[in-house]
Amino acid sequence: MSESEPPDRLARLGRRLDEARARRGNAAPAPGSNDPAVQQGMALGLRIGIEFVVAIVVATALGWALDRWLGTRPWGTISLFFLGIGTGMVSVYRAVAGIKMAVGYRRPDTPDANRQRAKERAKDKWDDDEE
Amino acid sequence: MAIELHPLHQFEIQRIVPLHIGGLDISFTNSALLMTIVVVAITAVTVLGTRKAELVPGRVQSVAEMLYEFVADMVDTNAGHDARDFFPFVFTLFVFILFANLLGLVPWSFTVTSHIIVTFALALVVFIGVTVIGFVRHGAHFLRLFVPEGVPPVLLVLLVPIEVLSYFIRPFTLSIRLFANMLAGHTMLAIFGGFAAAVGVFAIFPVAINVALVGLELLVALLQAYVFAILTCLYLRDALHLH
């Protein structure tokens, strides 16, 4: 360790951070997996793919089981198949348009979403202050 | 050159310590071994990370703190402020799935979450738990979850079954999503690994693809744990606030 180094670990770390930031300069951060929007988008994309298929398969299986139980073949399978398609569409639509709404509801511009955005902004600011 | 491809061999359950009690096969399997390793690893990270709290956190402390803050923030924004009581549950779920996914990527290990019975059991715990919480908090009022407000009565005939069905489909979507992603990813890795063994000097191409795939699998492992936990939060929110 050379003599010019500040003895304090914290100060040294701070200086190294400053240097690293200066090197990066004003370059915009690369859109990567650190971006929460990208993360959430991917999570949503992975989610809705399976939603539709599973709804139909489970509903049809349920209809088939009901038919076997009640001896109403084939009406349970048929009606629950179509109900499954409806449920699948509703789930996908719901997942894309806003998660917590009930069927037939347009998600209002929720105070929740605004609050979350405000919170993120506040958090960013707080982080900046801390630096 | 006869090289046999067994891309699904990796998912086989093997008994390590055979154990049969009263006709029940409760052998200690490779799956159980990996779950034990997962639990031990999680305990090690959290205990070591919080034992000696420093102002400038070390590596382990950083990991423990990041996990805590990430899940705490997720519960707070997605399930509501009063869902804090359920933070330990969501944290356990998230960290267990995350570690199981990540440790499953280690060569010669076993991916616990690539078995539908494991993910379905986890999803069923969430489903039953959320339903019980809903009925405890709201009593019979919880059933209003299935009746959308402000809809003409004629449409209710169609919409209530859809709501009920979409509620009961939750454990299936939750478990199949995680299981299918892990199964598909690991099968793909094994297939390209098999190609590499079969084509001799050209093995560089499948190996290159596999390197990229491992990166993708790492992302999938993180994202699937995230999706599972965030959906648990959303279901909790439904049970606590009824939309």
Which ipTM score applies to this complex?
Answer: 0.72
The pTM score is: 0.78
Closest Cα of chain A to B188: distance in Å? 17
Cross-chain Cβ contact A102/B172 below 8 Å: no
pLDDT of residue B1: 44
pLDDT at B179: 94
Q: Which residues of B fall within a CB distance of 8 Å from A43? A: 223, 226-227, 230
Chain A CB contacts of B237 under 8 Å are 100
For chain A, say whether B172 makes contact (Cβ under 8 Å).
yes
Give the C-alpha separation, A110 to B193, whole Å: 49
CB contact under 8 A, B162 and A33: no
Q: How confident is the model at residue B185 (pLDDT cuts 50, 70, 90)?
A: very high
Q: Who has greater pLDDT, B186 or B150?
A: B186
pLDDT at B170 over 80: yes
Low-confidence ranges of chain A (pLDDT < 70): 1-7, 25-36, 39-40, 43, 46, 98-131
Residue of B147, B173, B181, B218 to mutate, testing the A interface (most A Cβ within 10 Å of its Cβ) = B173
Please report the sign of the dihedral spanned by the C-alpha atoms of residue B74, residue A31, residue A95, residue B103.
negative
The strand pairing partners of B20, in sequence order, are B25
Mean pLDDT score across all residues of chain B: 89
pLDDT beyond 80 at B10: yes
Residue B178: list chain A partners with CB under 8 A: none
Instruction: Please give the residue of chain B at the shortest CA–CA distance from A95.
Output: B231
Confidence at residue A123, expressed as pLDDT on a 0 to 100 scale: 52
CA distance B67 to B46: 9
How would residue B124 be classed by pLDDT, with cut points 50, 70 and 90?
A: very high
Mean pLDDT of B6-14: 86
Kindly state the average pLDDT of the residues B59-70. Answer: 91
Q: State what percent of residues in chain B have pLDDT above 70.
A: 98
Taking contacts as CB-CB distances below 8 angstroms, the residues of chain B near A101 are 243
**B223·A46 Cβ contact <8 A:** yes
Higher-confidence position of A126 and B179: B179
Residue B243 is nearest to which of A13, A50, A102, comparing CB atoms? A102
> Residue A68 is encoded by which pair of tokens?
């076997």
Evaluate if residue B85 carries a pLDDT over 60.
yes
Sequence letter at residue B45: V
Task: Answer yes or no: is pLDDT of B95 > 50.
Answer: yes
**Beta partners for B15?**
B29
**Angle value at C-alpha B14, between B8 and B19, nearest 5 degrees:** 155
Residue A129 C-alpha, separation from nearest chain B C-alpha, in angstroms: 17
State pLDDT tens for residues B26-42: 889 999 999 999 999 99
Structure tokens of A86? 């409806």
Residue A103: CB partners within 8 Å, gap ≥ 6? A90, A94, B148, B151, B159, B162, B163
Query: B53 at the A interface (CB within 8 A)?
Result: no
Q: Is A98 on the interface with B (CB under 8 A)?
A: no
Instruction: Name the percent of chain B lying above pLDDT 90.
Output: 49
What does the pLDDT average to over B3-23?
Answer: 82
Question: pLDDT-derived band of residue B242, with 50, 70 and 90 as boundaries?
Answer: confident
Q: Locate the chain A residue with the closest alpha carbon to B235.
A: A100
The minimal CB distance from B162 to the residues A46, A50, A90 is found for: A90
Range of weakest confidence among A34-38, B41-45, B134-138, B191-195: A34-38
Using pLDDT thresholds of 50, 70 and 90, give the confidence band for residue B175: very high
Q: What is the pLDDT of residue B234?
A: 86
Nearest CA in chain B to A41: B223
Residue ranges per domain, chain B? 9-241
